[in-house]
Amino acid sequence: MTTIAVFVGSLRKESLNKKLARAIERLLPEGVNFEYADLDLPLFNQDEENDMPAKVLELKRLVERSDGVLFVTPEYNRSIPGVLKNAIDWASRPWSQSSFAGKPTAIVGASSGALGATQAQAALRNVLLYLDMKVMGQPEVYFNGSTGFGPDGELVEGSEDFIRGFAQAFADHVKANS
């Protein structure tokens, strides 16, 4: 079994990015399993990094026992949401005990407009490369959440094959690099 820790950078109930994560999950190849990280964490405080809150330790353990990590990010003001950056900052600490180093990963994102969180994804890629993660280059997923889902919340026809292709490529990337 291949386990993927999934970071969705939106806490809201009707999040387009949560929908996108669930759509990818439904199209994963057999034997690959998603575990969703809880990013509703206290704000990072370096005074606490050697005695982290229990929820943060849980997040670090999830990443460490996972074969790969998928980041599903909205774009807030042309970058990643604070919720996501906060979680990454916690799990990257303390110095030399980052949970992310060497892990295979990929980034996808949905926005309410046509640009699909393009700039947030670019900003996040920079962070993940600094953290020494093995970032998948292709295919990129810039998802328009307003037109990409039907009224039933499922992917519209045409999106499904593309997202299945992404799910397969990511599973292959994780297997090749973990």
Q: Select 52 or 80, whichever has its Cβ closest to ligand FNR.
A: 80
Residue 61 vs 78, nearer CB to ligand FNR: 78
Q: Is 83 in the site for ligand FNR (CB under 6 A)?
A: no
Count other C-beta atoms under 10 Å from residue 142's C-beta.
15
Whole-number Å distance between alpha carbons of 135 and 123: 13
**Which one, of 131, 62, 49, 147, lies nearest residue 90 by Cα?**
49
Among 45, 78, 129, 150, binds ligand FNR (CB under 6 A): 78
- Interface with ligand FNR, residue 112, by CB under 6 A: yes
Q: Which uninterrupted H or E stretch holds 72?
A: strand 68-72
The three-state secondary structure class of 23 is: helix
Task: Using the rule CB under 6 A, give the single segment among 43-51, 71-79, 123-131, 165-173 that binds ligand FNR.
Answer: 71-79
φ, ψ (nearest 5 deg) of residue 8: -105, 120
Identify the H or E element spanning 3: strand 2-8
53, 94, 113, 153: which one binds ligand FNR (CB under 6 A): 113
Assigned token pair, 79: 């970058």
CB atoms within 10 A of CB 172: 13
* CB closer to ligand FNR out of 12 and 158: 12
Orientation of helix 16-26 relative to helix 159-177, angle to 10°: 70
Among the listed residues 4, 6, 16, 163, the single contact to ligand FNR using CB under 6 A:
16
Across-strand partners of 8?
Answer: 72
Q: Which is nearer to ligand FNR, 10 or 105 (CB)?
A: 10
Q: Is position 13 an interface residue for ligand FNR (rule: CB under 6 A)?
A: no
Binder among 6, 10, 80, 124 for ligand FNR (CB under 6 A)? 10
The answer to whether 86 contacts ligand FNR (rule: CB under 6 A) is no
Verify binding: residue 77, ligand FNR, rule CB under 6 A: yes
Q: Give the interface with ligand FNR as residue ranges (CB under 6 A).
A: 10, 12, 15-17, 74-78, 111-113, 115, 145
